[in-house]
Structure formats: C-alpha cells, structure tokens
Amino acid sequence: MRVERARELGLCYGVRRAVDMVREAVPDHGSLQTLGPLAHNHILLAELAAQDITAVSTPEEVTGSAVVVSAHGVPPHTVREFSERGITVIDTTCPIVAHAQRVVADMAKEGLTIVIFGDANHSEVRGLLGWSGSRGIATLDLPSLGDRDALFLGARVGIVSQTTQRIEDFTSFVQSATVEVLASGREVRAVNTLCDATRRRQAAAAELAREVDAMIVIGGRNSANTRRLAESCAAIVETHLVESPSEIQVALFKGKRCVGLTAGASTPDSSIDMIESRLLQL
Ligand code: SF4
C-alpha cells in the first residue's frame, strides 16, 4: 500500500510559532502555565507537559509569575486582569487572529453591531466577542425569522468570521445575512478574516482525496479544524480521523492501494511520522 502526504499538512504557522515561543520562554521561568491548551492535541500537550508547560482552564488557576496566552487569543480584559495581578503575559496570539481582533475592535468603535460567524464556545470566538465589547454576537446559523431583529440590532452591521471556518460556509452566510440586513434598510460590511493556512490545507487535502482510495486525517477529535478537514475529505472518499497509531487497524485498509494523509493545524510532526510509519508496516 502506498501512503501519500498532502502537500500541506500539520502544524500551522500560528501554532508552530506559539509552541516555539513557549519553548524558548520556559528556561527563564522554570515552568509555565498556559491559559487553555496551546493546541487541541493530546500528543502535543504531553510533549509540552514533559517540558513543564501545562494548561489551566481559568485565569484564577494561574499561580506562577507568568502566563501564556494561546494562539487563539483572549479578550482584552483578560490581559488587563493579569497585569493588575502582576503576572507577565507571554502573548502567542496568532497574528491572523490578532488581525481579526483589530477588525472587530474597529467595528465596535464605529458603532457597528458585529456578527461573528463562528462557534460561540470556541476560545478564539470568545476572545473576539471580548474585543467587540458588548456589540458582538457569535452564530453559525441565521436564526429563525422571529429572532432576526435581535441579531441585526443596529443600523449598521459588520460580519467577520472565526479564522478557521470554511470559505464556502462563510460566503453563503454572508450572502444570506446581507440580503436580510439590506432588506431591512440597514447597512452591512463583511470582512474576510479567514485564515489562509486552513484554506490551503483543506485544498491540498481535497486534491489528494480525489486521487487515493482512503484518507487518514490525523489530529485531536476536539480540534475544530481537524474535524472540518475530515468532513471535507469524507465528502470525496472514505475517511478516518485518527489521533494515535493504535487506531490504525489492518481491516480498515484491506484492498486499498493508496492512502492519503493529512493532519490538522494543531497536530505535531511526531504524530504524523508515527502514523505514517504504522501505515507502512501494514
Ligand atoms: S489556523 Fe490560522 S489563524 Fe489559527 S493559529 Fe493557525 S495560522 Fe493562526
């Protein structure tokens, strides 16, 4: 069986940068706590834990003199609160997320109601909501007709996206929302805050999925971008989302001549190497 890697896969620029920044900073602090996991991947988190870099869930749990903000970013008040407690913030917010935060903050300053196309429970979206002051709403669906007034509160509406959403989904959301907002006599402004790394990984995965008998998507099941990669591949060919080599079962690959590999933006190189080796042993 042949195993082929997608031409772009695995750790994105933002997560790789965050991991490098934290690994560089840890010798100065002895150990470090990150607010939330640095990436949604158990293997990467175990590698970091071995270097005394561990995650806490809430700002109150931070006990050291420094804290790491992940690539997903945080609301501005979280950074302020750490400063007030005398805690140094090592800010690894991805520059692409930081751009989305600036767009949202500017829209809020101009008085727009901001609709964030994204998962309201995702840490990046919670951060963006913080940058919107009290002017933001996060949603993945246009609400039912009766609730739309609540969504499009202001005279002017700004629309942005969680960076890791699919361009097709964002485009269709913007089209439907724009029709609604314009029909009600209000103004709308949409800004593309999507991450190109995600789009390029998705394009490379889809291209490979069309050429192989099955796809393996490597990454955490709790990673939104990994799950979306798996959904895109599954629409084209048989696809399996796996986190560790132990999930690679011979029966799954019976009769397959070529298997494609891709990996989410938080999947470390070590995971990809281990799963590729396991596949080549089948
Ligand atoms: S997926 Fe994109 S926006 Fe998110 S951390 Fe990676 S490079 Fe940054």
Q: Are 236 and 208 in contact (CB under 8 A)?
A: no
Lowest mean pLDDT among 8-22, 135-149, 165-179, 254-268: 135-149
Q: Quote the distance between the C-alpha of residue 109 and its chain's center.
A: 26
Q: What is the pLDDT of residues 80-126, one digit of tens each?
A: 999 999 999 999 999 999 999 999 999 999 999 999 999 999 999 99
Under CATH, to which class is 13-93 assigned? Answer: alpha beta
Q: Do 2-10+196-281 and 13-93 share a fold?
A: no
Residue % of the chain over a pLDDT of 70: 96
Region 190-217 average pLDDT = 94
Secondary structure letter of residue 257 according to DSSP? S
Model pLDDT, residue 151: 65
Ligand 1: residue of 123, 164, 167, 229 to mutate (most ligand atoms within 8 A of CB) is 164
Spatial separation of the C-alpha atoms in residues 249 and 278, rounded to whole Å: 10
* Top mutation candidate among 13, 124, 196 for ligand 1, by most atoms within 8 Å of CB: 13
Whole-angstrom Cα distance, residue 234 to residue 214? 9
Cβ of 81: how many Cβ atoms within 10 Å?
16
Domain ranges of the chain: 2-10+196-281, 13-93, 96-190
Rounded to an integer, what is the distance from CA 129 to the centroid of its chain?
15
- Per-residue confidence band for 276, with pLDDT thresholds at 50, 70 and 90: very high
Q: Which CATH architecture has domain 96-190?
A: 3-Layer(aba) Sandwich (3.40)
Beta bridge partners of residue 54, listed in sequence order: 33
* CATH of segment(s) 2-10+196-281: 3.40.1010.20
| Distance (Å, whole) CA 92 – CA 109 | 25
- Is 80 exceeded by the pLDDT of residue 145? no
